């Protein structure tokens, strides 16, 4: 499957190459409890506000207009938690319905705020008609978001790297991140991705984490779907934060079985000496540990290097280590407003696309799947096809 030559490959920073697959402890229960508590409270307050606003402005009454929204949106957290433990069609159905309800809640919240603003500012309008129009628009936007999220686009970009080996000039890499296999997407989604990738004929494929959402999935089906992927210089993976919600080693076993090469905080040389490094999310999230890993890999600054790691964060670490290009995902581009805005505030210009931090180029994909509400509005589900070009000699 791959023509790479393996060099200097400590499997993780504590484990020599070739030893046991590194696991992890999963989510800390305390952090999970805080997240679940806060998230549930926000959902509860938002849903009550939207329900009361809807009843107030449309004149619709009855228990269903209050209880039904609460059941729908508050079902998301138990569906997510149950899904972490077991796979069942009822859990999948509850998750899908409640996640879609959350998408509608987001836009219905905006509609409610607009209704109240119009009322408070005493703007002359038929408030009932306005309310029905805005809540109707929220439903239409949600429907559009569902369709848009399922439409996989190919984004083509050329990246020029200094000291790029002759063998890689004009060749292509496919970047696929954030597949989020779980209650919404499964083996059929992987088959669609694989079919698109095989049509694009990339020379290598980089899977940038969050392959799994965190829910229990049929790993055999998923592995069989990835098996059909053909790339002459290999398919590579490093974990994302969602892949680390539980012991990640089970994913490594399944992916390795399907021919995917998991990069355990290591560097390999592809044909011609192009350096490819993969660092898992857990390790890349700890700057000191991250710096130690990259420092010990012996990255050659005289040759182009590509770092596969999930988040466009802690960027000074790879920049100091002399990495030429980092490829990441994680942000999803925010998926839809206002989260698009939030993600831009958190990650700045590195939230999406190709950007530069001094000598380090960072390419962030908006990902191919979704987390939570399975919608995208103003962002795209994408596979990025990178064409490599030579930027000339550099002694950096």
Nearer to Fe ion, 262 or 270 (CB): 262
Nearer to Fe ion, 178 or 216 (CB): 178
Residues 6 or more apart whose CB falls under 8 angstroms from that of 67 comprise none
DSSP labels, 188-252? HHHHHHHHHHHHH--SEEEE-S--B-SS---HHHHHHHHHT---TT-EEE---SGGGSS-THHHH
Residues 6 or more apart whose CB falls under 8 angstroms from that of 310 comprise 177, 208, 209, 210, 238, 239, 240, 241, 280, 281, 284, 328, 329, 330
Q: Which of 12, 76, 94, 210 binds Fe ion (CB under 5 A)?
A: 210
Min. distance of Cβ 365 from Fe ion in angstroms? 10
> DSSP E strands: which ranges in the chain?
5-6, 152-161, 172-176, 204-207, 235-237, 261-262, 266-269, 275-278, 305-308, 325-328, 353-357, 360-364, 381-390
Site string for Fe ion, 124-163 (x = CB under 5 A): ----------------------------------------
Stretch that binds Fe ion, among 31-39, 159-167, 205-213, 263-271 (CB under 5 A): 205-213
Omega before 338 within 30 of 0, i.e. cis: yes
- Give dist(CA 137, CA 107) in Å, integer: 8
Nearer to Fe ion, 210 or 216 (CB): 210
Contact 215, 87 (CB under 8 A): yes
Nearer to Fe ion, 210 or 269 (CB): 210
Stretch that binds Fe ion, among 28-36, 120-128, 175-183, 194-202 (CB under 5 A): 175-183
Stretch that binds Fe ion, among 29-37, 162-170, 172-180, 376-384 (CB under 5 A): 172-180
- Residues in contact with Fe ion, counted by CB under 5 A, come to a total of 2
Q: Which of 178, 213, 216, 243 binds Fe ion (CB under 5 A)?
A: 178
Which 302-341 residues touch Fe ion, going by CB under 5 A?
none
Stretch that binds Fe ion, among 26-34, 102-110, 209-217, 246-254 (CB under 5 A): 209-217
Min. distance of Cβ 149 from Fe ion in angstroms? 13
- Give dist(CA 228, CA 150) in Å, integer: 21
Is 244 one of the binding residues for Fe ion (CB under 5 A)? no
Stretch that binds Fe ion, among 24-32, 170-178, 251-259, 268-276 (CB under 5 A): 170-178
Report which DSSP code applies to 337.
T
Min. distance of Cβ 26 from Fe ion in angstroms? 17
Nearer to Fe ion, 13 or 210 (CB): 210
Task: Give the footprint of Fe ion on this chain (CB under 5 A).
Answer: 178, 210
């Amino acid at each position: 499957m791959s023509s790479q030559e393996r060099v200097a490959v400590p499997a993780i920073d504590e484990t020599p190459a070739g030893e046991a697959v590194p696991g992890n402890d999963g989510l800390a229960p305390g952090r999970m409890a805080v997240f679940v508590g806060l998230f549930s409270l926000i959902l509860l307050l938002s849903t009550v506000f939207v329900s009361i606003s809807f009843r107030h402005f449309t004149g619709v009454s009855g228990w269903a207009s209050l209880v039904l929204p609460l059941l729908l949106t508050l079902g998301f957290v138990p569906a997510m938690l149950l899904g972490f433990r077991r796979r069942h069609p009822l859990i999948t159905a509850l998750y899908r319905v409640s996640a879609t309800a959350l998408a509608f809640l987001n836009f219905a919240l905006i509609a409610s705020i607009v209704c109240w603003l119009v009322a408070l500012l005493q703007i002359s309008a038929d408030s009932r008609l306005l309310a029905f129009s805005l809540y109707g628009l929220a439903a239409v936007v949600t429907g559009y978001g569902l369709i848009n999220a399922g439409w996989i686009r190919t984004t083509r970009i050329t990246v020029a790297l200094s000291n790029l080996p002759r063998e890689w000039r004009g060749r292509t890499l496919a970047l696929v991140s954030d597949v989020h296999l779980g209650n919404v997407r499964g083996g059929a989604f992987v088959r669609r991705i694989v079919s698109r990738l095989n049509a694009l004929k990339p020379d290598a494929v980089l899977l940038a984490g969050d392959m799994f959402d965190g829910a229990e999935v049929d790993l055999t089906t998923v592995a069989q779907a990835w098996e059909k992927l053909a790339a002459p210089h290999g398919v590579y993976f490093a974990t994302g934060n969602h892949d680390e919600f539980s012991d990640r080693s089970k994913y490594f076993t399944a992916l390795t079985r399907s021919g995917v090469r998991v990069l355990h905080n290591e560097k390999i040389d592809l044909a011609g000496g192009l350096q490819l490094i993969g660092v898992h999310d857990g390790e890349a999230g700890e700057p000191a540990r991250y710096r130690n890993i990259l420092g010990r890999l012996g990255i050659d600054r005289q040759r182009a290097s590509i770092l596969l790691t999930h988040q466009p964060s802690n960027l000074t670490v790879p920049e100091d280590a002399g990495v030429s290009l980092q490829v990441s995902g994680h942000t999803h581009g925010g998926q839809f407003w206002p989260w698009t805005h939030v993600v831009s505030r958190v990650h700045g210009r590195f939230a999406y696309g190709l950007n530069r931090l001094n000598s380090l180029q960072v390419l962030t994909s908006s990902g191919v799947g979704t987390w939570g509400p399975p919608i995208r509005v103003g962002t795209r589900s994408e596979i990025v096809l990178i064409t490599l070009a030579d930027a000339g000699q550099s002694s950096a």
